[in-house]
Amino acid sequence: GTRIIYDRKFLLDRRNSPIAQ
Amino acid sequence: AKKKIAVPGVGEHPLQYNYSFWYSRRTPGRPASTQSYESNIRQIGSFASVEQFWRFYSHMIRPGDLTGHSDFHLFKEGIKPMWEDDANKQGGKWIIRLRKGLASRCWENLILAMLGEQFMVGEEICGAVVSVRFQEDIISIWNKTASDQATTARIRDTLRRVLNLPPNTIMEYKTHTDSINF
């Protein structure tokens, strides 16, 4: 199956997304 | 009590695997037997998405700010951060000793690489640990099959890349059976 791969920048950018607050 | 299995929230970015954070701290003066190890380790919680990860991580103390003999463990949900777990029995770990001051940054880079599936070794990764000690700190990443040299080499090469360590940094692979015998 497809693996869900995220790079460091993508993960860091989600840090301050409204949904994570 | 059985912990609820985490699921991604609406609009969140799911991870390839669910993970659980654990914390342990050695009680001074107690022998480090298996039983005391298990009783000193606490599960903090589980997550299934990028956003849920940040909700835990953002509220956790950074490893570099911990005092005493403590560890954070981040393992796939359902795998205990212990040699005795079925997923770890045949496994081993890469160990990197860090001079004081590097643990927080290295731990973050390590777990982001693990959550983002940067290691490209199929189901092999079990989890990661940061161990805060008096003289130095240690980070490690555990995999299922210690005898699989292609996998352990790929994990080592990915570690070098994602941690951006000086070229002379010593990396050591230990099988869990070696650790038990020791």
**Whole-angstrom Cα distance, residue B147 to residue B151?**
9
Token code pair at residue B34 = 């298996």
Position B142 scores a pLDDT of: 98
Residue B126's nearest CA partner among B105, B151, B162, B103 is B151
Position B32 scores a pLDDT of: 59
Interface contact B112-A15, CB threshold 8 A: no
Reduced to 3 states, what is the DSSP secondary structure of residue B3? coil
Reduced to 3 states, what is the DSSP secondary structure of residue B159? helix
Interface contact A4-B115, CB threshold 8 A: no
Residue B87's nearest CA partner among B44, B41, B145, B37 is B145
Interface contact A15-B54, CB threshold 8 A: yes
Stretches where chain B sits below pLDDT 50 are 1
**Whole-angstrom Cα distance, residue B48 to residue B160?**
27
The rounded percent of chain A whose pLDDT value lies above 70 is 71
Going by the DSSP 8-state scheme, the letter that residue B65 receives in this structure is: G
Position A21 scores a pLDDT of: 47
Position B16 scores a pLDDT of: 98
Sign, CA dihedral B8-B14-B17-B22, equals negative
CB-CB contact of B136 with B98 (8 Å)? yes
The answer to whether B11 contacts chain A (CB < 8 Å) is: yes
Q: What is the pLDDT of residues A1-21, one digit of tens each?
A: 789 999 999 999 999 776 654
Position B27 scores a pLDDT of: 72
The answer to whether A18 contacts chain B (CB < 8 Å) is: no
The answer to whether B68 contacts chain A (CB < 8 Å) is: no
Q: What is the pLDDT of residues B78-103, one digit of tens each?
A: 999 999 999 999 999 999 999 999 99
